[in-house]
Amino acid sequence: MRALVAELAPAGSSVRLFGSRLDDEARGGDVDLLVDVPLPVERPAVLGAMIAARAMRVFAGRKVDVVLRAPNLAEQPIHRIAMQEGVLL
């Protein structure tokens, strides 16, 4: 995932896994990723969709949700949850 994000997102971006996939006992569920971008993102929907599509291939078609965090995007509760509970990859 780090290599994928490094290829698609601006330099210095990081990625965290959060949500149900952190629980080894949980079954199914989608993969939730927080991509933290240090620069403003001009087209966040496009970047998020590109990362999600490529990540779905890596995870053999499993649904992937991508949440972007960037200086020009409004901070939402999901960002705080992902930062607190997520694991930096």
pLDDT in tens, the chain (89 residues): 999 999 999 999 999 999 877 766 666 678 999 999 999 999 999 999 999 999 999 988 889 999 999 999 999 999 999 999 999 99
Q: Name the burial class of residue 77, with classes exposed (0-12), middle (13-18) and buried (19+) by CB atoms within 10 angstroms of its CB.
A: exposed
Strand 31-36 versus strand 64-69 pairing type: parallel
In order of start, what are the domains of the chain with their CATH numbers? 2-88 (3.30.460)
